Amino acid sequence: MNGSPIPTNPGPEPRKRILHPDRVFLLSFSILGGSYLLLLLSTLVADLAYTSPGHLWRALQSPEIRYAIRLSLLSCTLTALLSLWVAVPIGYLMARIRFPGKGLADVLLDIPIVLPPLVIGLSLLILFQTPPGRAVERWIPVTYAIPSVILAQFMVACAFAVRTLRATFEQISPRHEQVALTLGCTRSQAFWMVVLPEARRGVLTAGTLAWARALGEFGPILIFSGATRMKTEVLSTTVFLELSVGNLEAAVAVSLLMVAAAAVVLLLIRTQGLESTLGRPL
C-alpha cells in the first residue's frame, strides 16, 4: 500500500528459432558447392556475352579454323579408337588377373593423368630423338606432323579409357565367365561372348571420354606437334594462335565450339545412361 507498482507477469519469453544442425550442414555445403557452379556458369555467360553469331560465323569461314575442325574430328576419332583398342585388354587384365608387377603397372597407368601435360609432350619429343625414335621417323614422319597430334592425344586419353574400363570389368561379376569356362569355353571365347557384351556401356563411356579428352588436349600437342597453321593445328591450338595475334573474338568463338562439343558428349553419356570413371554402377 506504499504506492509501489504492482508487478505484472510478463509471460514467457518468445522462443528463439534455432536452425537444425542438419540444415546448417546442408546449407554450408550448398553454399560452397553453389559458389563453384556459379563460377562455371559465369564463365560461360561471359563467353556468350563477349562474342556474337557474327564472330562465330566469321570464324567458321576461316580456312585455318575449318582445317583445325577437320583435323580435330579426325584425330579425336582415331585417338578414341586406339584408346579402346589398348584400354579393353589392359582394363580386363587389371580387373581380373593377378600378375607380378601389377602395382607398378597401376602406378604407370595413372601417370598421364597426374603428370603435367607439357611434360608428356616434352617426353615424347625426347623419345623421338633417341635412336629407336629416329629409326621410326625414317619410315613415318611423326614429330611436328599429324601422327604426333594423334600420339600426343592418345598418351593422355588412353589413361582415362583404361580407368573407365577397369572399373567396368571390376563391377561385372566373374560368375558368368566362370560358368562359360566350366561349359568348355576358352578364356578368349568367354571374354568375347560373355564379358564384353556385358561391358558394352563401359566401352561406349570409355570411347566417349577418350574422344572428349583428346579434343581438349593442348600442352602435349604444342610441344610435340607445334602449332603450325594448316598442318598440325587443332581447335585447342587455334585458341592459342588466335590469342597470340590478338584476335580475342575468334579465340572465344572457337572456345564456344569446343564447349558445345563437350556438352554434346556429356549429353550423350547422360541420355544413354552411361557412367563416368569413378566406379559408379553401370
Q: Which three cell numbers stand for residue 215?
A: 579434343
Contact of 201 with 272, CB cutoff 8 Å: yes
- Number of folded domains in the chain? 1
Contact of 209 with 275, CB cutoff 8 Å: no
CA-CA distance, 58 to 95, in Å (whole number)?
Answer: 49
CA-CA distance, 264 to 202, in Å (whole number)?
Answer: 18
| CA-closest candidate to residue 225, choices 84, 120, 77, 86 | 120
Evaluate whether residue 84 is within a structural domain.
Answer: yes
Residues in the chain, pLDDT under 50 = 1, 275-282
Contact of 183 with 137, CB cutoff 8 Å: no
Evaluate whether residue 54 is within a structural domain.
Answer: no
Rounded to 10°, the helix 248-271/63-96 angle is 40
Specify the pLDDT at position 54: 78
Evaluate whether residue 38 is within a structural domain.
Answer: no
CATH assignment of the domain containing 146: 1.10.3720.10
Q: What is the dihedral of CA 166, 216, 200, 158, to 10 degrees?
A: -40
Evaluate whether residue 11 is within a structural domain.
Answer: no
Specify the pLDDT at position 83: 95
| CA-closest candidate to residue 75, choices 224, 252, 204 | 224
Evaluate whether residue 29 is within a structural domain.
Answer: no
CA-CA distance, 152 to 164, in Å (whole number)?
Answer: 20
Residue keyed to cell 593445328: 233
Evaluate whether residue 9 is within a structural domain.
Answer: no
Q: Which three cell numbers stand for residue 124?
A: 615424347
List Cα–Cα distances, 113 to 28, 76, 170, 173, in angstroms.
Answer: 31, 18, 20, 28
Evaluate whether residue 55 is within a structural domain.
Answer: no
Evaluate whether residue 40 is within a structural domain.
Answer: no
CA-CA distance, 275 to 268, in Å (whole number)?
Answer: 11
Q: Domain range spanning residue 220?
A: 60-271
